[in-house]
Amino acid sequence: MADIIKLLPDHVANQIAAGEVVQRPASVVKELLENAIDAGSTHIKLIIKDAGKTLIQVIDNGMGMSATDARLSFERHATSKIQTAEDLFKLNTKGFRGEALASIAAIAHVEMNTREETNDVGTKLIIEGSKVVSQEVTVTPKGTSVAVKNLFYNIPARRNFLKSDNVELRHITDEFHRVAMAHPNVHFDFYNNGSEIFNLPVSNLRQRVVNIFGGKTNEKLVPISENTEVVNINGFVCKPEFSKKTRGEQFFFVNNRFIKSSYLHHAVSAAFEGLINDNVHPGYFLYFEVNPSSIDINIHPTKTEIKFDDEHTLYAILRSSVKHSLGQFNVAPVLDFERDSNLDTPYSYKNKQAGVPAIEVDAGFNPFKEETKKSFSSSGFKKDKTANWESLYVGLESKSNFENDFSTVQFESEEVTGSFFEDEKTGTDGAITYQLHRKYIVTTIKSGLVIIDQYRAHQRVLYEQFLKNITVKEGVSQQLLFPLTLTFSKAEMQLLGELKESLESTGFAFSGFKEDSVEITGVPVNVTESEAGILLDQLLSDFQQEVPDSGFSQTDLLAKTLSKTLAIRSGEKLDVNSQEALVNNLFACKEPAISPFNKQTYITMAVNEIDNKFL
């Protein structure tokens, strides 16, 4: 039998590796930015066109490369970061596998210009699909410029799986945030289709967070600083009142590397226990410094997961640090056992001696001695007139008159204020509605009984109503007496700009969009002013998680979010008129049987089914 196992060609192996390293344009941005950081750059520029599908370019002023290093950097497993296996446990750099550039070059057109500071000229290298097209000497500034064009040009199936430009740009922005926040000592510029998105100068950690997420973020932050033998923790947590339903503003960095850890997230959430509701999440920007030998970062292709030697100790330190900071800055209530100055002795009594209590006894007191009783009147004290006690009975009738008076007594009828079935009412058509456990509405039909889930039913009613308003653009708005100003991050403001037209169709009215805030002058009829901010937060959270592509799915998701947020919840009491209106509106819908989220809205029970229960 012939041998069937063969070595893969390099270009095929590179494309397979690219499947792990390069999942979307944001993956390329991450790898190139990390390479620029490792090169010791102080100024990094990111240029994007068409959400990275046409161009991704990273320009830095780092150490640059020689002609040999430039050519060798595109080979598989070629790296300057490690030499032996032991180096994996003392990493101080971002990349170390040596697969990033090789994987990117396998699925795109790459042009690199690089020059070392000691050389007068640099190297220009052009690679297409792992094949070196040209290498020549060129004049270029110190540092390295890598331009990745036509991503996935030779893998059309992979390119078809990319989302819309807005969605891909959102992922690129997230990766840019993660790198920029880990290195506040580096100047970052971010351009998209020729317009500047971010200009982040060198600053301290707090200012970098504020520059990325907007000026209003500064008042939300509570600093954290804890130095121990195991770990040094620095950073910020957001005050409890600024917690959101979205989990966007949550960042962990270990040795300046962004990571995801549900275990550490639970430690922060535990520190906020009792300060926030269960359905909201605290924001945090936390930086850990640990011994590189105590962690293993080589357990995930994207290097966003890390294995710690002693997770339990880290959990306890993080939880207590967050709790301590919340109490130290009077964010959380704490017990204060310090001396209260209000209990101090006043200055006027400070040098006085305490007086000895004196006891005075009236030696002439006789309890059997008759005294003249006095009563208080408006004119002073006067003697009580007890001699005219007979006058109290003047005008009383005889005993017989008492008996005659009882025959004419009239009793007032008591008003019935409630009944056992106060929620029941028989309509003109004989139908009865009854709210069961403030969750279900029970009503009768000719064949038996219908039990309706009030929350899901109201979702269906609102969903079709909002879908019609957005499509026909007939949303009714109620004007606010005073404009409402809400603050968001730049990424959220960009998403709101995309949804502005659809939101106006539902009844929202905007008077102005700023860099990090929006002013609302009108809201839909069934939305209160206090619900507007909650509704928009939920809307942004849903769009960031589901990231719809087409216009129809965007409209559909908007209607779903509005209906989910505004529908009456289980536990709300409805009067009979509201119950009947909900039942009638539900069965007037096009799809009354299911909610917008494909959940059953009602069940029916025929009379014979009920009869069978009694057999």
List pLDDT tens digits, range 466-478.
888 877 776 677 8
pTM: 0.68
The number of beta carbons lying within 10 Å of the beta carbon of residue 431 is 16
Beta-strand ranges (E) seen in 4-80 are: 43-49, 55-60
User: How much of the chain exceeds pLDDT 90, in percent?
Assistant: 16
**Chain mean position to CA 573:** 29
Taking the CA atoms of residue 489, residue 493, residue 494 and residue 495 in that order, the dihedral angle to the nearest 10 degrees is: 100
Among 230, 291, 236, 284, smallest CA distance to 261 is for: 284
Of the segments 292-306, 386-400, 520-534, which one has the largest average pLDDT value? 520-534
List pLDDT tens digits, range 35-66.
899 888 999 999 999 988 899 999 999 888 88
Please tell me the distance from the alpha carbon of residue 289 to that of residue 286, in angstroms, as a whole number. 10
List pLDDT tens digits, range 549-596.
545 567 787 888 888 888 888 888 888 888 888 888 888 888 888 888
Q: What domains are there in the chain, each with its CATH number?
A: 10-200 (3.30.565.10), 205-328 (3.30.230.10), 433-604 (3.30.1370.100)
Maximum Cα–Cα distance for the chain, whole Å?
138
The per-residue pLDDT for 56 is 93
Q: Is 544 helix (H, G, I), strand (E, B) or coil?
A: helix
Q: Following DSSP, what letter does each residue of 363-410 receive, concatenated?
A: TT--TTS----EEEETTEEEE---TTGGGGGTTPPPHHHHHHHGGG--
- Token pair 């009383």: residue: 396
The number of beta carbons lying within 10 Å of the beta carbon of residue 465 is 19
Token representation of residue 280: 């909201």
Question: What DSSP element (H or E) covers 148?
Answer: strand 143-149
Mean pLDDT of the chain: 79
